[in-house]
Chain A
Amino acid sequence: GEDVEQSLFLSVREGDSSVINCTYTDSSSTYLYWYKQEPGAGLQLLTYIFSNMDMKQDQRLTVLLNKKDKHLSLRIADTQTGDSAIYFCAEKFEASNSGYALNFGKGTSLLVTP
Chain B
Amino acid sequence: NAGVTQTPKFQVLKTGQSMTLQCAQDMNHEYMSWYRQDPGMGLRLIHYSVGAGITDQGEVPNGYNVSRSTTEDFPLRLLSAAPSQTSVYFCASSPHSIRQGNNSPLHFGNGTRLTVT
Contact = CB atoms under 8 A, between A and B. Distances in A.
Chain A: interface residue count, which band?
20 to 34
Contacts, number: 74
Interface of B: 4, 31, 33, 35, 40-45, 48, 50, 54, 56-59, 90, 92, 97-101, 103-111
A96 B58 CA distance: 9
A101 B58 contact: yes
Interface of A: 1, 4, 30-31, 33, 35, 40-45, 48, 50, 88, 92, 94-96, 98-107
A98 B50 contact: yes
A99 B42 contact: no
A44 B108 CA distance: 7
11 contacts: A31-B103, A42-B90, A42-B92, A42-B108, A43-B92, A99-B50, A99-B98, A102-B98, A102-B106, A103-B45, A107-B42
